[in-house]
Chain A
Amino acid sequence: AQSVTQLDSHVSVSEGTPVLLRCNYSSSYSPSLFWYVQHPNKGLQLLLKYTSAATLVKGINGFEAEFKKSETSFHLTKPSAHMSDAAEYFCVVSVWDYKLSFGAGTTVTVRA
C-alpha cells in the first residue's frame, strides 16, 4: 500500500519570499506523484505531476517539485510567494491500481 506524509500542516511566508512544502511518500511500486492546490470553496486543481521522466518537474504558477527516490521525497517549491498562493496544498501518490492517496494537506498563509 502507498501513503503520503506532508511534514508541515501549516506554512506561513512573506510575499516575495520562497515557499517550501515538504512531502514524503511510501510505495512498494514505482509511483506517480502529484501536487494539487485547493483554494477556499474551490475544487482541487493540479499543480504538477511526476511520472518517471525528469526528476525536476515544473508546474503552473511558478511552482516546481523535485523527485528524490533515495529520500522518498517530492517537495514543492516556489521562488517567490504571491498573495494568491494562499491555499491548501495536497501531495498525492498513485501506483498501478490508479488509486490516489492524499496527504493531510499543508495550509499556506502569505503575509503582505
Chain B
Amino acid sequence: EAGVAQSPRYKIIEKRQSVAFWCNPISGHATLYWYQQILGQGPKLLIQFQNNGVVDDSQLPKDRFSAERLKGVDSTLKIQPAKLEDSAVYLCASSSSGQNTEAFFGQGTRLTVV
C-alpha cells in the first residue's frame, strides 16, 4: 500500500514570497489533514477535510493560508505572503472514515522563510 506522498521535501523562500505544498493521500481515504509543526512543538492542525469539504479550519490563518482538496483526493496548501514565523514542517495525513482509525502521515515539507 502506497503511503501519503508530499512534495516538495524542502523549500527555502524569502519573506513575502508565496509557496505551495502538495499532498496525495492514501487511496480511498476520505479524511485529509494538514498540520504545522514548529521546531520543538507538537503538530498543530491547520485544516481538516472530509472528502472535498472542510470540517475544521479554525486554526488556519486565512489572511495568508489557503487550502483546497479537488475532487476529494489530492490537496494543496498555499501560503501567500510568507512570514518568518511560518518556518516549520508541514505535515499531511490521511485516514479512512471512522473514529477508531489511525492517521497515516507523509514525510512532511520543511519550509524555511528567510
Give chain A's interface residues, CB within 8 Å of chain B: 32, 34, 36, 42-46, 49, 51-52, 90, 94-105
A55 to B98, CA, bound (A): 20
Q: Which residue of chain A is the closest to B58 with respect to CB atoms?
A: A99
Contacting pair A98 B55 (CB below 8 A): yes
Other contacts beyond A97-B55, A98-B98, A99-B48: 17, CB < 8 A: A32-B100, A36-B105, A42-B107, A43-B108, A44-B91, A51-B99, A94-B99, A96-B99, A98-B48, A98-B50, A98-B97, A99-B56, A100-B103, A101-B45, A102-B43, A102-B44, A104-B42
Q: Among A36, A42, A98, which residue has its beta carbon within 8 angstroms of that of B31?
A: A98
In the bound complex, what is the Cα–Cα distance between A103 and B50 (angstroms)? Answer: 23
Is B41 a contact partner of A105 (Cβ separation < 8 A)?
A: yes
Q: Are B91 and A46 in contact (CB under 8 A)?
A: no
Q: Which of A51, A99, A104, A105 contacts B45 (CB 8 A)?
A: A99
Query: Which residues from chain B contact A102 at a C-beta distance below 8 Å?
Result: 35, 42-44
CA distance A44 to B91 in the complex (A): 9
Query: What is the size, in residues, of chain B's interface with A at 8 Å between Cβ atoms?
Result: 27
Which residues from chain A contact B103 at a C-beta distance below 8 Å? 100
Interface 0/1 of B68-103, CB less than 8 Å to A: 000000000000000000000001010101111011
Interface string of B40-62 (1 = CB under 8 A from A): 01111100101000011000000
Shortest C-beta distance, A91 to chain B (Å), equals: 9
Q: Closest CB-CB distance, B19 to chain A, in whole Å?
A: 20
Give the most central of B4, B45, B103: most A CB within 10 Å: B103
Given the contacts A97-B55, A104-B42, A32 and B91 also touching, CB distance less than 8 Å: no
Picked from A51, A95, A96, A97, the residue with its CB within 8 Å of the CB of B56 is A97
Most chain B beta-carbon contacts within 10 A, residue among A44, A97, A102: A44
The docked-state distance in angstroms from the alpha carbon of A52 to that of B100 is 9
CB distance from A28 to the nearest CB of B (A): 14
Residues of A close to B91: CB separation below 8 A: 43-44
Closest CB in chain B relative to A11 CB, distance in Å: 15
**Bound form: Cα–Cα A103–B103 in Å:** 15
